[in-house]
Structure 1
Amino acid sequence: MIAMVPAIDIGNFLGDDPENMSTALQLLLLLTVLSLAPAILILMTCFTRIVVVLSFVRQGIATQQMPPNQVLIALALFLTFFIMAPVFAEINEEALTPFLDGDINQDEAFEEASIPLKEFMAEHTREKDLALFIDYAGMEQPETIEDIPLTAMVPAFAISELKTAFQIGFLIFIPFLVIDMIVASVLMSMGMMMLPPVMISLPFKILLFVLVDGWYLIVESLLLSY
């Protein structure tokens, strides 16, 4: 039995009518933006720092897949929305609402929406990282934040966030590393060479993390870092 595939008429999109062609291009642009939305969320917001730090916490405790990836990603996502709320509100007020009301066109809406994001990213981007991409592209030194193109700002912001996240992750690892070293030394002095130190140190690391209210401290540090 041969399945019949319904035909799709794309003649209206490929015709000579400029209006239909414009509609097709707008639809294609919309689908492209939606496909790039995850990358935009990850690289232009605080999501990168948050999810990397939470991953370091899980690896430092050595609890394998606890908490699960879905929980860490969801927590990082909601923390991102919480931190970025003022920026999103400004974008909605200055760009989205006027565009939907017909007061500005698409180009003006894009420019207005990029300004709050650029200000947020510039505040947390190292000058060294930003200068790397500006110098490599041979651009003139921008006079204001608005003059910095997103093609240079976004990767500079991303590597700055990664550096900060790894610095926080290093500080998170230190107390857990101390516990591992103490447990390993105790087991070696008792002659228990075949017993994995991780099995013994895991309960102590979980206990330490719970006693100091670790999740509260981690989230508080992330919020204060912005």
Structure 2
Amino acid sequence: MAEPMQAAAQLPAVDPLLQSIIGSVDKLAPEVQTFLMLSALSFIPVFLIAMTAFTRILIVLSLLRQALGLQQTPPNLVLMTLALFLTFYTMSPVFDAALQQGWVPFSQGSIDAAQAVTSALEPFKSFMIQQTREQDFVAIASMSGQPLPASPNEVKFAELVPAFLLSELTTAFKMAFVIFIPFLLIDLVVSSVLMALGMMMVPPITVSLPLKIMLFVLIDGWALVSQSLVSSFQ
């Protein structure tokens, strides 16, 4: 596996344990299947965080707000909504592939529910492998006590998901560090100027905050950061 780990063109079925669980559910009564399906909807937020671009995007946007010196502006709801739409733009090829490989054949009756779920998860597995750093996967494998897989086809979701999250956290903090630098320079310059003028009683944030906001607006910062986030997954 290279860094980032390269996915195979066609990935095999999901982990045997997951496949057996899906197969067991497929044999249950329709009423029980409906109940389990409705219960599974509660795991959508977990799926969004653990298997998509949402985590990286939201962390970078949140740290950008901290770099500007703003505590609650934009509000968390606004940042989460923007992160959701950017996640949709980033993940749209994966969603389309999962729809074509899983739902379309299932709706046509050519495959059963177990095969549909297995096929739909393959594009997500490929996406996660491409974004996962090798050292993070090695760390997770060592914690779980499992040997390293010989190829991407042998990667299991139980090890891939936490490794993917570790990689996303690392990448998000790297991007946030780059974003912090110009705002930190503005804070240092403002502090030095105020001290040179003998205005040590004036909080530097009262001067640097409007300057940072003006600079960020002039360079169209929100659009630049959004484009950088989406392109970072390509």
Instruction: Determine the structure 1 residue equivalent to 2:231.
Output: 224
- In structure 2, the residue matched to 1:127 is 134
Partner of 1:38: 45
Is it true that 1:89 corresponds to 2:96 in the alignment?
Answer: yes
Structure 2 residue runs without a partner (length 5+): 1-27
Question: How big is the shift at 1:134?
Answer: 2.5
2:203 is aligned, of 172, 191, 196, to 196
Aligned length: 208
Return the offset for 1:92: 0.5
Contact kept, 8 Å, 2:89 with 2:230, in 1: the verdict is no
Determine the structure 2 residue equivalent to 1:161. Answer: 168
Q: CA deviation at 1:24?
A: 4.2
Question: Following the alignment from structure 1 to structure 2, what is the Cα–Cα distance between the partners of residues 139 and 25?
Answer: 34
Distance 1:70 1:141 in 2: 40
Deviates more, 1:129-138 or 1:190-199: 129-138
Identity, % of aligned pairs?
Answer: 48
One-letter amino acid matched to 1:123: Q
Counterpart residue identity of residue 93, structure 1: Q
Match of 2:146 among 122, 128, 139: 139
Residue 55 (str. 1) matches residue 62 (str. 2)? yes
Q: In 1, Cα distance between the equivalents of 2:200 and 2:86?
A: 43
Residue 16 of structure 1 corresponds to none
What is residue 221 of structure 2 aligned with on the other side?
A: 214
1:28–1:74 CA distance, 2 compared to 1 (3 A): same
**1:186 maps to what in 2?**
193
Q: What is the Cα deviation at residue 138 of structure 1?
A: 3.3
What is the CA distance between 1:212 and its match in structure 2? 1.6
* Residue deviations 1:95-144 (CA, integer Å, cap 9, x gap): 11112222112221121112110110000100111122223333343344
Q: Does 1:69 align with 2:76?
A: yes
Query: RMSD between aligned alpha carbons?
Result: 1.9
CA distance in 2, matches of 1:178, 1:141: 44
Tell me the distance in 1 between the aligned counterparts of 2:206 and 2:111.
Answer: 62
Q: What secondary structure, in the 3-state scheme, does the structure 1 residue paired with 2:186 have?
A: helix
- Structure number, greater radius of gyration: 1
Q: 1:113 is matched by which residue type in structure 2?
A: A
Q: Closer, same or farther in 2 for the Cα pair 1:51/1:85, shift >3 Å? A: same
Which runs of no fewer than 5 residues in structure 1 stay unpaired? 1-20
Bigger mean CA offset, 109-118 vs 171-180: 109-118
Distance 1:133 1:108 in 2: 28
TM-score w.r.t. length of structure 1:
0.86
Moved more, 205-214 or 118-127: 205-214
SS in 1 for 2:29: helix
Q: Distance in 1 between matches of 2:166 and 2:143?
A: 15
Instruction: Give the Cα–Cα distance (whole angstroms) in 2 for the partners of residues 149 and 37 of structure 1.
Output: 20
Cα distance in 1, alignment partners of residues 32 and 156 from structure 2: 24
SS at 1:28's partner residue?
Answer: helix
**TM-score, normalised with respect to structure 2:** 0.83
Contact 1:179–1:205 (CA under 8 A) maintained in structure 2: yes
- Looking at structure 2, the residues matched to 216 and 66 of structure 1 have their Cα atoms a distance apart, in angstroms, of 17
